[in-house]
């Protein structure tokens, strides 16, 4: 039976959500039905369809007591809206149903595992979160919280583990056994990812520390996800309080991918490499699922805590999800590219080959705001290297967003300083890319309110929100020195 808190949220979104027309939303990136959205949750297959839940505060475009919004899709691009799945309506989750995951049970029901947050006043008078792991079971539409929640709480933590920072369980099934990774703050004050095991998702046994931060990469590790891919084991996590190392690991809320070998005996990931997942300004808390045809697909919150105060005037929704991305690992490196379903939406191909450029140009019919465009650039001369190459998108004379490549230092810069934000915030990201002899391939997936950049066939990605007026659709190319470029542009018709 739906609680009053859940009914109220469902009524609210049913009443006001439809007033936000499709013209006020991105063409194919998911936004909340109404109000605020952060992390993706419960990204999984149920009854043959892809379900996605999200951290949701329907009443305002600000973070608040967390609910779980709910959608489903068959192609990762068209999303069917479903009613709010979870509301903070129990003593153990009265301050929020935080991030978590979902799995289909053998009996055909869908199980959600989430972090219940309850604030308690400590002896010193301070209010502190108590975070526990809780279960709800349902039919893909309505969910009943388990009567004996929480299923994992402070007593189950290893010594020194903080009961305040213990959140974001990611669940999966292997044979008859369920496993779960969850973020926790250990005694050293930084972050760790704990592994638990269960036969029924209700009673859980602590197995060990899968990976720990040791104050090396940020502090509290949020939203872990762990899976096998291309013969390696991959742990994704989103650290808080990250400090940049050179041009790596942007400060603030960062994202990490740890690749290595999983030692089942020790329940430990023996790390071989660490890389950032995304180099843009707006990417956090990604989660993955395994499709029936064997693809590991990741979706992330296309926003970050540092930038989430910058909202367009009179916003009725805030927060978007990235385009879902197919992951692969090659030579110890994580690659990501938009799901192949996006290619089915490509129309009106415009192709230019071997365009010689030195200075600035526009190309006939190369414009648009909902597009998929790949630009490949190389030096025009064997003896001298060009200084830089730029592509400017979402332009209108006053506004534009720029991607620049400098071969000498092998850096890419994404710059949205002039994208038309209501006030100035952090707008520039530089990152190092692998040198390919001055040649670079930039795939730009542009929607009305975002630009996702995939460099060199998915070696790196950089995700950036823009709120430039949607009529700004000019695209131009600039170089210092002579380059030869190929441009392949499609309109995306959804």
Give me Rg for the CA atoms of the chain. Answer: 23
Asked if 98 interacts with ligand FRU (CB under 6 A), we say yes
Kindly state the smallest distance separating residue 53's Cβ from ligand FRU, in Å.
Answer: 12
Q: Which residues, numbered 336-355, are part of the site for ligand FRU (CB under 6 A)?
A: none
Phi and psi at residue 66, to the nearest 5°:
-75, 130
Q: In sequence order, what are the residues at sequence separation of 6 or more whose Cβ sits closer than 8 angstroms to the Cβ of residue 154?
A: 130, 132, 161, 163, 166
Q: How far apart are CA 322 and CA 421, in angstroms?
A: 20
Closer of 110 and 115 to ligand FRU (Cβ) = 115
Taking CB under 6 A as the criterion, which residues in 114-153 touch ligand FRU?
115
Q: Which of residues 39-68 bind ligand FRU (CB under 6 A)?
A: 39, 55, 66
Cα distances from 340 to residues 23, 79, 328, 333, 401, in angstroms, run: 25, 16, 13, 20, 25
Shortest CB 239 distance to ligand FRU, Å: 11
Nearest to 444 by CA among 383, 382, 394, 389: 394
Nearer to ligand FRU, 54 or 386 (CB): 54
**How many alpha carbons fall within 13 Å on the CB side of residue 205?**
8
Which of positions 405-464 make contact with ligand FRU (CB under 6 A)?
none
Residue 286 C-beta: closest distance to ligand FRU, Å: 11
State the catalytic residues: 39
CB atoms < 10 A from the CB of 442, how many? 22
Residues in the chain: 494
Beta carbon nearer to ligand FRU, 96 or 368: 96
Contacting ligand FRU within 275-294 (CB under 6 A)? 284-285
Cβ atoms 247, 262 nearer than 8 A: no
Minimum CB distance to ligand FRU, residue 294 (Å): 28
Contact call for residue 223 and ligand FRU (CB under 6 A)? yes
Q: How far is the CB of 170 from ligand FRU (least distance, A)?
A: 11
CB nearer ligand FRU, residue 34 or residue 474? 34
Tell me which of 13, 129, 222, 282 binds ligand FRU, using CB under 6 A.
222
**Least distance in angstroms from the C-beta of 304 to ligand FRU:** 9
Q: How far is the CB of 44 from ligand FRU (least distance, A)?
A: 17
Alpha-carbon distance of 90 to 132, in angstroms, equals: 13
> 101 vs 468, which CB is nearer to ligand FRU?
101
Residue 115 or 399 having the CB closest to ligand FRU:
115
CB of 459 to ligand FRU, least distance (A): 26
Looking at beta carbons, which residue is closest to ligand FRU? 98
Size of the site for ligand FRU (CB under 6 A): 13
Return the number of the residue (57 or 406) whose C-beta is nearest ligand FRU. Answer: 57
Select 222 or 452, whichever has its Cβ closest to ligand FRU.
222
**Residues in contact with ligand FRU by the rule CB under 6 A:** 38-39, 55, 66, 98-99, 115, 167-168, 222-223, 284-285
């Amino acid at each position: 039976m739906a609680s009053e808190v859940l009914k109220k949220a469902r009524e609210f979104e049913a009443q006001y959500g439809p007033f936000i027309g499709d013209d006020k939303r991105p063409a194919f990136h998911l936004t909340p039905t109404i109000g605020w959205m952060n992390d993706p949750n419960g990204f999984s297959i149920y009854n043959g369809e892809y379900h996605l839940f999200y951290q949701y505060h329907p009443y305002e475009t600000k973070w608040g007591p967390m609910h779980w919004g709910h959608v489903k899709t068959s192609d990762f691009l068209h999303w069917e809206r479903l009613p709010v799945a979870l509301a903070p309506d129990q003593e153990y989750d009265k301050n929020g149903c935080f991030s978590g995951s979902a799995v289909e049970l053998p009996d055909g029901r869908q199980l959600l595992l989430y972090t219940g947050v309850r604030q308690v006043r400590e002896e010193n008078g301070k209010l502190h979160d108590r975070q526990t792991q809780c279960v709800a079971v349902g039919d893909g539409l309505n969910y009943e919280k388990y009567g004996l929640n929480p299923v994992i709480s402070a007593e189950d933590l290893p010594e020194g583990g903080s009961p305040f920072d213990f959140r974001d369980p990611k669940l999966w099934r292997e044979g008859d056994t369920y496993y779960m990774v969850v973020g926790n703050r250990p005694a050293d004050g930084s972050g760790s990812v704990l592994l638990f095991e269960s036969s029924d998702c209700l009673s859980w046994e602590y197995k060990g520390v899968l990976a720990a931060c040791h104050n090396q990469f940020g502090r509290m590790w949020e939203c872990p996800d762990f899976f096998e891919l291309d013969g390696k084991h991959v742990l994704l996590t989103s650290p808080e309080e990250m400090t940049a190392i050179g041009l790596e690991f942007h400060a603030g809320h960062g994202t990490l991918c740890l690749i290595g070998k999983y030692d089942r005996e020790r329940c430990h990931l023996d790390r071989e490499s660490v890389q950032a997942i995304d180099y843009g300004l707006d990417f956090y808390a990604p989660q993955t699922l395994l499709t029936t045809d064997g693809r590991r697909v990741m979706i992330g919150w296309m926003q970050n805590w540092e930038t989430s105060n910058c909202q367009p005037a009179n916003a009725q929704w805030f927060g978007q999800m990235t385009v879902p991305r197919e992951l692969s690992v090659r030579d110890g490196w994580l690659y990501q590219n938009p799901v192949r379903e996006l290619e089915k939406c490509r129309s009106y191909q415009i192709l230019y080959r071997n365009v010689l450029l030195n200075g600035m140009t526009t190309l006939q019919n190369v414009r648009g705001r909902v597009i998929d465009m790949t630009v490949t650039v190389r030096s025009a001369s064997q003896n001298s290297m060009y200084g830089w190459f730029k592509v400017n998108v979402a332009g209108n004379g006053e506004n534009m967003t720029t991607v620049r490549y400098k071969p000498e230092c092998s850096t890419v810069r994404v710059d949205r300083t002039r994208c038309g934000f209501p006030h100035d915030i952090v707008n520039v990201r530089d990152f190092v890319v692998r040198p390919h002899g001055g040649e670079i391939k930039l795939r730009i997936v542009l929607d009305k309110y975002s630009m996702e950049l995939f460099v060199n066939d998915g070696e790196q990605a950089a995700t950036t929100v823009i709120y430039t007026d949607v009529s700004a659709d000019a695209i131009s190319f600039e170089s210092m020195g002579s380059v030869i470029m190929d441009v392949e542009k499609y309109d995306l018709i959804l």
